[in-house]
Structure 1
Amino acid sequence: MRDLEKFKGVFVALNTIYDKNDEINVDAIKELVKIYKSKGVKGVYVCGSTGEGFLLSTEERMQVAEAVMDVAGDDFTVIVHVGCAGTKESIRLAKHAEKIGVDAVSAVPSVYYHLSPASVEKHWTGIIDSTDLPFIIYNIPQLTSFNLPLDLFERMAKNPKVIGIKNSEEPVYNMERYRTVAGDDFIIFNGSDEQYLGGRLMGANAGIGGTYGTMPELFVKLDELINQNKIEQAKLLQYKINDVIFDLISLPSLYGAAKNVISRRFGIDAGVPRSPFLPVENDEKISAIVEKIENYVAQLNELGE
């Protein structure tokens, strides 16, 4: 059995922060990582969808990864998303990630061209073979238009470097299918924030999410309740989380809303998302979301009783 404990738990899909000139704000990223460490999250997933990875240059993605590693420490797990349209650039990012000491790399299928499973397998295998790092499949068909076939997953899962999958497809049904195929010695990250409880019950043993960053305390507590088999309390907390998510996605852009809430809650200027994502004004709607989260955090002790 592999020692995969450092990949179990709650992982924040880290927002990339820019300064007023749309350059990477290294200092703000470092401060945000420190805050998440203090909140009890297990680690971060860097330069994925929430991290606006496909809006960053290769050099910027390296810059973000380096900023995170500067403050991560040995007790905080760092997974870097290296997915690109082309395998060559993904390999470049993977080699850099290995050089700076990250814990694992991850990648979506090659995007845009609607490639065959054989081409996706070639893409992922090229990345995997380029380093000695563990690899985590990133399955998000609603953005990549690639529906991961179970036979391809089975072949990939047999590679000893492939330790897990970040499964962000919306139905939780396949969590059970992936668990059945891969066995217990495998990490399945739930990627649908509003279905964290459902995903865990269907076979996931960890989670990576973009809204976690706005309310890490709630997801850490939800994970704790599930691990303690306090399912009724977990269900109530998932309802509260979904109440917040509903509010966030009702605004012009999720990333703009999340960055605004992060700024308000943690005292860090998280700025705005990179164009073409829309910013979200700091108005009464954001204030209401922040107040709601703070109220739910204040109620956490009651859920554990």
Structure 2
Amino acid sequence: MTNEKKFHGVIVAFNSCYNDEGEVDPQRAKAYTRFLLDRGVNGLYVGGSTGEGMLQSADERKRVLEAVLEENAGQGTVIAHIGAITTKESVELARHAELAGADAISSVPPYYYRVSEQGAAKHWNAILAATSLPFIIYHIPATTGFALTPSLLRQMVQNDQVIGVKITSPSPYELQQFKAIGGERFHMFNGPDEQYLAGRVMGASAGIGGTYGAMPELFVQLERSYVAGDLAQAQKVQFQINDIIADLLALPVYSAMKELLKRRGVHCGSVRAPLEEVNDSHKPQLDALYRKLMGYIAEYAPDTAAQA
């Protein structure tokens, strides 16, 4: 697979997979990987926000990535998010990702401590120097408190390893502006799941999102409709996706996604504290949401929906 094809389409931000005691569970991670690949996703983004990477030790993150890569076996693109609060840990995770066989690495900027642009550049450049893998900047200012600027991006793209930006901000205009800086072969990865279609129209090569994992069939259908030039159908699917997301956001979202997966036969355990878990009071909402979701999926993947 060429680099051009590797970084296109539906790339799922992989949910963390724990056992019933809350420990990382490689077997559950493999089962979830298979569930997603069998539904036609293009790739997996491991260890990011949805993957609870920042709530795991470096050793746990390595074990999850190894499990995903083993089950994936080259079928889809695997991007390892290796961002950490220290440069040392990010470099360690980057080196491991290369040795394990990841297709690319990605990283948020340093967080909590408010670093300067040059501090962020120094952090990312240390990661770049540690491996030969393609690198994707992860721009998510709402959680990191750091905003990638056009001037910093111009500086970073001087290194050919920097192949793209995963942009999780509500502005398709910002996506387009970053794409213009990077150039035609530069990859933008749309972050907000609610605007997958908008991101693709404005120049994104792919989308990376967490809710994809609970409803991969809908995002795969959205991508297919967009590629086929059927924007009316793509818009319809995006509106259905957004209907599901609106209901998810009324719940503890990370835990609710895992509950939907559980109803679909994929057991990923719960979430790690301090993330909020769903409880018995949420059951009616989850039941109604599951029925709605499977109704939408039945429009595009009736065999899959019948098995649920």
State the alpha-carbon separation in 2 of the partners of residues 301 and 21 from structure 1.
34
Once superposed, which parts of structure 1, at least 4 consecutive aligned residues long, lie more than 2 Å away? none
TM-score (norm 2): 0.95
Q: Deviations over 1:1-51 (max 9, x none)?
A: x83211111011001111122110111110000010000001110010000
Q: Which residue is equivalent to 1:139?
A: 139
State the alpha-carbon separation in 2 of the partners of residues 178 and 33 from structure 1.
31
Residue 301 to residue 86, structure 1, CA distance change in 2 (3 Å): closer
Q: Which residue is equivalent to 2:270?
A: 272
CA-CA distance at 1:215 after TM superposition: 0.3
State the alpha-carbon separation in 2 of the partners of residues 210 and 124 from structure 1.
24
Q: Deviations over 1:195-228 (max 9, x none)?
A: 1111111111100001000100000110111111
State the alpha-carbon separation in 2 of the partners of residues 28 and 290 from structure 1.
21
More divergent stretch after superposition (132-141 vs 227-236): 227-236
Letter in 2 for 1:104: A
CA-CA distance at 1:157 after TM superposition: 1.9
Q: Which residue is equivalent to 1:254?
A: 253
Q: Which residue is equivalent to 1:194?
A: 194
What is the aligned-residue RMSD (CA, Å)? 1.3
Letter in 1 for 2:277: P
State the alpha-carbon separation in 1 of the partners of residues 60 and 66 from structure 2.
10
Letter in 2 for 1:288: A
Secondary structure in 2 aligned to 1:273?
coil
Secondary structure in 1 aligned to 2:237?
helix
State the alpha-carbon separation in 1 of the partners of residues 76 and 287 from structure 2.
31
CA-CA distance at 1:301 after TM superposition: 7.4
Q: Which residue is equivalent to 1:38?
A: 38
Secondary structure in 2 aligned to 1:208?
strand
TM-score (norm 1): 0.95
Aligned residue-pair number: 299
Is the CA contact 2:69–2:100 (under 8 Å) kept in the aligned structure 1?
Answer: yes
State the alpha-carbon separation in 1 of the partners of residues 131 and 259 from structure 2.
37
Q: Deviations over 1:218-251 (max 9, x none)?
A: 0011011111121111111111100000000101
Q: Which residue is equivalent to 2:155?
A: 155
Structure 1 position 234 matched with structure 2 position 234: yes
Letter in 1 for 2:88: K
Identity rate, percent: 43
Residue 301 to residue 81, structure 1, CA distance change in 2 (3 Å): closer
Letter in 2 for 1:155: Q
Letter in 2 for 1:246: A
Is the CA contact 2:13–2:208 (under 8 Å) kept in the aligned structure 1?
Answer: yes
Q: Which residue is equivalent to 2:107?
A: 107
Letter in 1 for 2:181: V
State the alpha-carbon separation in 2 of the partners of residues 67 and 223 from structure 1.
27
Letter in 2 for 1:36: L
Q: Which residue is equivalent to 1:66?
A: 66
Is the CA contact 2:82–2:94 (under 8 Å) kept in the aligned structure 1?
Answer: yes
Letter in 1 for 2:127: I
State the alpha-carbon separation in 2 of the partners of residues 158 and 299 from structure 1.
46
More divergent stretch after superposition (189-198 vs 66-75): 66-75
Secondary structure in 2 aligned to 1:299?
helix
State the alpha-carbon separation in 1 of the partners of residues 11 and 255 from structure 2.
20
State the alpha-carbon separation in 2 of the partners of residues 268 and 240 from structure 1.
22
CA-CA distance at 1:268 after TM superposition: 2.2
Secondary structure in 2 aligned to 1:78?
strand
Q: Which residue is equivalent to 1:211?
A: 211
Q: Deviations over 1:179-200 (max 9, x none)?
A: 1111111111000000111111
Secondary structure in 2 aligned to 1:204?
coil
Q: Which runs of 5+ in 1 are unaligned?
A: none
Is the CA contact 2:22–2:270 (under 8 Å) kept in the aligned structure 1?
Answer: no
State the alpha-carbon separation in 2 of the partners of residues 294 and 151 from structure 1.
45
Q: Which residue is equivalent to 2:220?
A: 220
Q: Which residue is equivalent to 2:306?
A: none
Q: Which runs of 5+ in 2 are unaligned?
A: 303-308
State the alpha-carbon separation in 1 of the partners of residues 8 and 267 from structure 2.
30
